Amino acid sequence: MPPATLDLSQDVVALTEDLVNIESVSGDEQSIADAVETALRVLHHLEVQRFGHTVVARTDQGRDERVVIAGHLDTVPVNDNLPARRDESRLHGLGACDMKGGVAVALRLAATMPVTNRDVTYLFYDCEEVEAERNGLQLLSRSRPDLLQADFAILMEPSDGVVEAGCQGTLRVDVITRGRRAHSARSWTGVNAIHGAAEVLARLDAYEPRRPVIDGLEYHEGLNAVFISGGVAGNVLPDVCTVSVNHRFAPDRSVDEAHRHVREVFDGYDVELSDAAPAAMPGLSVPAAAAFVEAVGGTANPKFGWTDVARFSGLGIPAVNFGPGDPHLAHRQDEFVPLEQVRTVERQLRGWLETDA
């Protein structure tokens, strides 16, 4: 196969379609990263660098402010949803929604706006859909945090064209009850660990999640059992029962604070931490962020799902999600992006970055 090429001068919808048609399942981003790098290298207003399959392109106009505009190049696995298919109002196909529409917008801005009112760092990275250790943004934030420095960051994840600010943190623990095995015909000689989980589930069922308001946005927390397991055989009292609990917490708490809170909720039980990722403050009070929200319609919603905006937050950079496509369609076999929404998002960002004529 000849190397894929991208024409950044064409309409953003056509560009999205071309991007969808370059297969780029996580771990297989060589072709798409090559095409992006090649298309950007010819643009003299950009300094382009490549790290693995992550491409960074920066303007250097000496502006007072710098913003990051970022998108991941990879998709979840192919599911009989390639090549792209376009109808009157939608572009269908793997990655159309998550998130090649957003990548197309960023590439269009990079190619066609040699002059902007803020300096821009465009960032196209790999392995967002897989484990954190492979995530191109995470790798770059460790190896070259200087390249991510900015006053504000926009992650062009699908958000239905509305700003989603900050993100909740997530933490998983196993709450474990223990008993003593016995034959179920002589159950009084044992202790049933599943019965012992009654109180654990009762606390979960009675839990009243907080709904703190931060930067004007209400974050709705949650504490939920996501798995439960226990049992040895059909005639044996089980000696262990494990309830796996996922806590989603608002950005006013650190991972440590959230962990302490969960341990308090399950006081008296074994609580083992399995994984955690910090929340991200919305940071909408920062001037660049406030100006951005104003420019794209004045509305911002809290982001509940965890996203890479938290990685910027970890570097002290306020960040939001803003991109075309309904986030609920992400990872679905029938994902699509509305054509008009891709065009609107491009127009809004263009307006925000334009210098006063």
Instruction: Tell whether residue 130 is a contact of its own copies (CB under 8 A).
Output: no
Q: Please pick, among 18, 34, 74, 98, the residue that the annotation labels catalytic.
A: 74
**Spatial separation of the C-alpha atoms in residues 313 and 218, rounded to whole Å:** 18
CB 132 within 8 A of CB 296: no
51 or 306: whose CB is closer to its own copies? 306
With contacts defined by CB under 8 A, how many residues of the chain interact with its own copies? 45
Return the H-helix or E-strand segment holding 141.
helix 136-143
Residue 270's alpha-carbon distances to 1, 178, 225, 266, in angstroms, are: 56, 9, 15, 8
Closest approach, Cβ 328 to its own copies, in A, equals: 9
Kindly write out the interface string for residues 233-272 of this chain, putting x where it contacts its own copies by CB under 8 A and - elsewhere: xxxxxx--x-xx-x-x------------------------
Give the residue, chosen from 64, 87, 146, 185, that forms a contact with its own copies under the rule CB under 8 A.
185
CB 72 within 8 A of CB 102: no
Give the residue, chosen from 30, 79, 112, 224, that forms a contact with its own copies under the rule CB under 8 A.
224
211 or 347: whose CB is closer to its own copies? 211
Instruction: Tell whether residue 331 is a contact of its own copies (CB under 8 A).
Output: no
* CA-based nearest residue to 335, from 102, 28, 27, 55: 102
If one counts every other C-beta atom within 10 angstroms of the C-beta of residue 18, the result is 19
Return the H-helix or E-strand segment holding 110.
helix 101-112
Q: Please pick, among 128, 160, 221, 308, the residue that the annotation labels catalytic.
A: 128
The contact set with its own copies (CB under 8 A) reads: 168, 170, 172, 183-188, 192, 194-198, 201-202, 204-205, 209, 220, 222, 224-238, 241, 243-244, 246, 248, 304-306
Active site positions, annotated: 74, 128
